[in-house]
Amino acid sequence: MFARPFSAQYRDPITIQTLKDGVSPNEMGEAAVFDEANWQDYFPCFAEVIVKGTRDFVRAGMAEADITHIIRVPYSTETIAVKPLTYRVLLGVTGEKIHITEAYRRDASNREVEILGVN
């Protein structure tokens, strides 16, 4: 199911999921995303998953956390296509579902895609 990670940095198994064809979130982005029947597996891979605790944000002087997870995956055509609202990440070990708030190419050399999310 999962390919062997090419780096020790990417050791957490994840599955990127996408909304099924014909399903789109409403104007608020809420209707389709909470129904489990609307999701399908898109791309299994290994990632570096960083859980952001509230302590990090209190230390930085922020009242609330905008994100709960930072997920770094190797750059590929599948991972760069990930977008908020229509994709989410399923963590392989804990089974948590992370809704994506942002996904972008982390560096200029196209080695990593960083996905920011909230559970």
Domains of the chain: 12-118 (2.40.10.270)
In one-letter notation, the amino acid at residue 79 is: T
Percent of the chain with pLDDT over 70: 75
Cα(116)–Cα(106) distance, rounded to whole angstroms? 11
What is the structure's pLDDT at 29?
55
d(CA 108, CA 2): 27
Instruction: Give me 10's structure tokens.
Output: 């990417």
pLDDT digits (tens, 9 = 90+) for 77-105: 999 999 988 899 999 989 999 999 999 99
Q: The whole model's pTM is what?
A: 0.78
pLDDT of 10 strictly over 70: yes
At 4, is the pLDDT very low, low, confident or very high (cuts 50, 70, 90)?
low
Q: Decide: 82 and 41 in contact? Cβ < 8 Å.
A: no
